[in-house]
């Protein structure tokens, strides 16, 4: 997404852009989402906006392309792609995005082992098909949502908060309640992080209008009963006692991690990554698009978890940095 | 249930298990609870697999039971463990083979402590030298006896006279595997299969024809602990732990339970009697209990050893239902006939054949 | 039966599926703002009764929602109905009405099933 926005803005300033995309179409994760928080507008509207803005003769999109080698000669970068092509550039914007945490790494939740344990991404797929169903085809009635899977977790090496999962959980809880009228939804959270505009209001709406239940406590384990229903153990911290309940389906809010493509590019380019494994910008406050390499800039979630609004703003800021750099105004 | 998911996890947690030349250290109390187990293990290792398993006559308890009950201070425990290592070094062995799961957990914990705090190791060396004049070298390999049986499970399967299959229906026996807490919960990487879905007993059971059951309270402790039951008034907590496991596994109708710890089978076996006395509940089919075995007993049964020679008559919950299902012949009258038991032991040397 | 010198300990897990949540349903139907509670504890912090007895409206709200009614049944009467809790609540929950309705529900459940 950041790539499309930056490409569009650069083209409007009169630059030629080569957009290198490793999949066979652009748009990244936005292709997989259904409705977006906080107002649940359709993701296709954002996709249309991005496609329109990046529609230009001076933007060349190279799909299924990755970078094998990067070198710099005076002020020009030379990029060798996996197709053997060489591209020359005066500046580079890195918009490699994020990967979703692989939930099978949290063994205790049984993703990939027990039926009906799915991730938030799997659930979005079900929303796109307008139908939520269990492995055996039935409709689930009791659904649990586990926050902080792969984030804020020392055991998997990700100490940071992925920022967006809490509001995604609330949004998905509402969508489940809309799709299945007599469903009961339980969100198991450590903290409710509703930091963006209208997020807290969405949380209130989930409780008030949709009757979503929120239980503060981390789910320790999931197992299956003889009827193949899931049973979870969670400490109801606010009641001060452990709680056990049976569920039809468990949704894991998988966090955001540095993308594999980004890691590979960091390896060949010498760009620094931080403790959270994302790209390390040169300054947190006023240099979040700058890298440790002159002429290479960052846009979007390759630097940290961000929502769509922030990604698009960050991409526009990256373009401003590129313009500065090319006009020799930046240090 | 998707077994592929579990297999991916099992691949991540593999560990080095030595091949031969083991220094065997016995359990303090296992020979009392399940007399045939350690003997069967040695018989399998020495006679069937032709391995070198050495027992030093001077080796002692590892004091894990005292350490976990707050009776023995940790410095003393470490020095006693160091003495065990010294005996092993003196006998010329490098592969430590504890029989007890708590011992295994203790040795792993102490080696890990010494790894992170070398000054503690230096102090223990000095203490041992002052107390006994002994020196030691840390073991190159530390594997629990169940790890070794797991490693040679295929060899045992090749010699099997009986399989874990119900001979009346042809179906694999439904087995609950219960792993001792000290095996992998503290150091998941030191257990085969990790902490969430341990594979050491699952591998054995699957190789020998049985089928493992996954039930919600699989991870729950049996309640042995040490401090929970040493004081009589606290035993209610231990019983409640085992009871929770039984209630959870009952709907799956298991035929038997296999364990790899000294305390777990003791509790899972004896508490079924206590719960029956107190509440009248039984957890097996047809009003029976669920027989509990150690893995050596199961290996022995699979290899065709006689049940009464394995000491199965000492179990509180009768094992006959499983013996019948497997098709093992035994005589009910001979069950407590010591003559038969003595027959096996006559002329059989136990130490260092 | 032999006397063993101990009894089997009772589990203290909240068994969500086995619990009876009719009291909670009664309150939800009559006071929709009950749904807004996030258990922040502002009410308990200012509570007059909570200052001197083991009365925590936050705790009771949760226990009712989970169906642990027996722990709340008698203690809920201690509320003085002073209304300080309603002043504090950041979500706008009508806490006083919740106490009224809870007492009503408990009384009714003693007389007949609701």
Q: Which of A113, A221, A243 would best serve as a mutation to test chain B binding (most B beta carbons within 10 A)?
A: A113
**Count, residues in chain A:** 331
Can you give the residue ranges of every domain in chain A?
2-97+259-326, 103-255
Cβ(B263)–Cβ(B69) under 8 Å? Answer: no
Among the listed residues B27, B1, B65, the one whose alpha carbon sits nearest the alpha carbon of residue B215: B1
| CATH number corresponding to A2-97+259-326 | 3.50.50.60
| A2-97+259-326 shares its CATH topology with A103-255 | yes
Instruction: Read off the pLDDT of residues A287-304 as tens digits, 9 standing for 90 and up.
Output: 999 999 999 999 999 999
Q: N- to C-terminal Cα distance for chain C?
A: 41
User: Does residue A239 sit at the C interface (CB-CB below 8 Å)?
Assistant: yes
Domain of B296, CATH number, reads: 3.40.50.11810
The answer to whether the Cα torsion of C98, C99, C100, C104 is positive or negative is positive
Instruction: Read off the pLDDT of residues B173-208 as tens digits, 9 standing for 90 and up.
Output: 999 999 988 898 888 888 888 888 889 999 999 999
Closest residue of chain A to C11, computed from CA coordinates: A242
Among B5, B216, B219, beta carbon nearest to A113:
B5
User: Does residue C113 sit at the B interface (CB-CB below 8 Å)?
Assistant: no
State how many domains chain B has: 2
Confidence at B353, pLDDT banded by 50, 70, 90: very low
Q: Does the pLDDT of residue B352 top 70, yes or no?
A: no
B308 domain residue, yes or no: yes
Confidence at B348, pLDDT banded by 50, 70, 90: low
Confidence at B50, pLDDT banded by 50, 70, 90: very high
Scanning C23-52 for CB atoms below 8 A from A yields 28, 32-33, 35-36, 38-39
Average pLDDT for residues C24-41, to the nearest whole number?
94
| CATH number corresponding to A103-255 | 3.50.50.60
B351 domain residue, yes or no: no
Among B233, B244, B275, beta carbon nearest to C6:
B233
Contacts of C40 (CB under 8 A, 6+ apart): C58, C90, C91
Q: Does the pLDDT of residue B123 top 60, yes or no?
A: yes
B10 domain residue, yes or no: no
Asked whether the beta carbons of residue B216 and residue A225 sit closer than 8 angstroms, the reply is: yes
Cβ(B317)–Cβ(B289) under 8 Å? Answer: yes
Are residues B81 and B212 located together in one domain of the fold?
no
Structure tokens at B297: 């007993």
Cβ(C80)–Cβ(C48) under 8 Å? Answer: yes
Among the listed residues B183, B220, B225, the one whose alpha carbon sits nearest the alpha carbon of residue B67: B225
Are residues B78 and B188 located together in one domain of the fold?
no
Distance CA A256, CA A249 (A): 22
Residue with tokens 């004049």: B133
Could you give the angle at which helices A308-326 and A2-12 cross, rounded to 10 degrees? 40
The domain in which residue B198 lies consists of 160-345
- Of B80, B115, B145, which residue is a domain's last? B145
What class has domain C22-111? mainly alpha
Are residues B179 and B138 located together in one domain of the fold?
no
Are residues B317 and B184 located together in one domain of the fold?
yes
Q: Does the pLDDT of residue B337 top 80, yes or no?
A: no
Average per-residue pLDDT for chain B: 89
B150 domain residue, yes or no: no
Question: For chain B, which chains pass the contact test of at least 3 CB pairs under 8 Å?
Answer: A, C
Are residues B215 and B89 located together in one domain of the fold?
no
B101 domain residue, yes or no: yes
B12 domain residue, yes or no: no
Confidence at B31, pLDDT banded by 50, 70, 90: confident
Are residues B40 and B116 located together in one domain of the fold?
yes
Among A211, A214, A245, beta carbon nearest to C16:
A245
């Amino acid at each position: 997404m950041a790539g499309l926005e930056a490409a569009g803005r650069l083209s409007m300033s009169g630059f030629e852009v080569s957009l290198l995309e490793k999949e066979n179409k652009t748009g990244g994760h936005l292709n997989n989402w259904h409705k977006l928080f906080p107002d649940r507008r359709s993701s296709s509207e954002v996709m249309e906006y991005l496609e329109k803005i990046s529609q230009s003769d001076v933007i060349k999109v190279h799909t299924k392309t990755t970078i094998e080698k990067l070198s710099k000669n005076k002020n020009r970068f030379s990029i060798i792609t996996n197709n053997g092509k060489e591209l020359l550039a005066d500046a580079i914007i890195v918009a490699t995005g994020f990967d979703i945490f692989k939930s099978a790494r949290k063994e205790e939740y049984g993703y990939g082992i027990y039926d009906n344990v799915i991730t938030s991404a799997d659930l979005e797929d079900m929303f796109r098909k307008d139908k939520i169903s269990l492995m055996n085809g039935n409709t689930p009635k009791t659904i649990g949502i586990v926050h902080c899977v792969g984030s804020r977790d020392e055991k998997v090496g990700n100490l940071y908060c992925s920022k967006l999962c809490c509001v995604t959980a609330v949004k998905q809880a509402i969508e489940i309640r809309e799709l299945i009228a007599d469903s009961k939804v339980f969100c198991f959270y450590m903290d409710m992080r509703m930091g963006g505009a209208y997020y807290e209001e969405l949380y209130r709406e989930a409780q008030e209008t949709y009757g979503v239940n929120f239980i503060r406590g981390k789910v320790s384990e999931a197992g299956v009963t003889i009827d193949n229903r899931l049973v979870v153990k969670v400490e109801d911290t606010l009641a001060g006692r452990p709680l056990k309940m049976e569920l039809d389906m468990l949704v894991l809010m998988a966090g955001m991690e540095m993308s594999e493509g980004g890691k590979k590019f960091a390896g060949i380019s010498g760009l620094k990554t931080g403790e959270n494994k994302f790209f390390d910008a040169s300054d947190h406050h006023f240099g979040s698009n700058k890298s440790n390499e002159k002429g290479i800039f960052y846009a979007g979630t390759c630097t940290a978890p961000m929502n769509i609004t922030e990604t698009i703003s960050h991409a526009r800021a990256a373009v401003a940095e590129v313009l500065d750099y090319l006009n020799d105004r930046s240090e | 249930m998707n077994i592929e998911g579990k297999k991916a996890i099992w691949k991540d947690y593999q560990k080095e298990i030595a091949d031969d030349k083991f220094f065997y250290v016995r359990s303090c109390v296992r020979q009392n609870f399940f007399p045939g187990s350690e003997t069967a293990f040695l018989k399998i290792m020495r006679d069937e697999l032709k391995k070198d398993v050495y027992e030093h006559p001077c080796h002692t308890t590892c004091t894990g039971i005292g350490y976990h009950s707050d009776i023995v201070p940790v410095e003393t425990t470490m020095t006693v463990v160091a003495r065990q290592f010294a005996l092993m070094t003196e006998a010329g062995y490098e592969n430590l083979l504890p029989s007890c799961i708590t011992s295994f957990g203790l040795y792993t914990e102490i080696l890990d402590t010494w790894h992170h705090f070398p000054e503690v190791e230096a102090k223990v060396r000095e203490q041992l030298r002052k107390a006994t004049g002994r020196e030691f070298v840390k073991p190159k390999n530390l594997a629990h006896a169940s790890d070794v049986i797991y490693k040679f499970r295929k060899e045992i399967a090749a010699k099997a006279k009986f399989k874990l299959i119900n001979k009346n229906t042809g179906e694999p026996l439904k087995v609950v595997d219960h792993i001792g807490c000290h095996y992998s919960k503290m150091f998941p990487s030191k257990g085969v299969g990790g902490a969430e879905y341990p594979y050491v007993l699952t591998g054995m059971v699957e190789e020998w024809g049985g089928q493992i059951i996954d039930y919600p309270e699989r991870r729950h402790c049996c309640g042995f602990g040490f401090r929970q039951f040493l004081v009589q008034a606290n035993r209610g907590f231990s019983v409640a732990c085992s009871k929770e496991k039984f209630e959870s596994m009952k709907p799956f109708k298991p035929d038997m339970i296999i364990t790899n710890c000294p305390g777990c089978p003791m509790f899972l076996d004896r508490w079924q009697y206590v719960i029956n006395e107190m509440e009248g509940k039984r957890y097996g089919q047809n009003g029976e209990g669920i027989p509990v075995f150690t893995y050596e007993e199961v290996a022995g049964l699979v290899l065709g050893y006689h049940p009464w020679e394995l000491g199965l008559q000492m179990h509180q919950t009768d094992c006959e239902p499983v013996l019948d299902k497997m098709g093992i012949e035994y005589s009910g009258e001979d069950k407590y006939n010591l003559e038969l038991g003595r027959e096996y032991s006559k002329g059989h040397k136990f130490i260092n054949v | 039966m032999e006397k063993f010198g101990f009894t089997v300990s009772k589990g203290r897990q909240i068994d969500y599926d086995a619990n009876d949540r009719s009291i909670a349903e009664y309150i939800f139907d009559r006071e929709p703002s009950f749904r807004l509670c996030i258990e922040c504890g502002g009410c308990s912090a200012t509570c007059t009764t909570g200052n001197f007895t083991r009365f925590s409206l936050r705790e009771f709200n949760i226990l009712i929602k989970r169906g642990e009614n027996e722990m709340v049944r008698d203690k809920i009467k201690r509320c003085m109905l002073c209304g300080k809790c309603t002043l504090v609540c950041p979500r706008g929950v009508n806490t006083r009405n919740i106490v009224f309705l809870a007492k009503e529900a408990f009384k009714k459940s003693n007389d007949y099933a609701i």
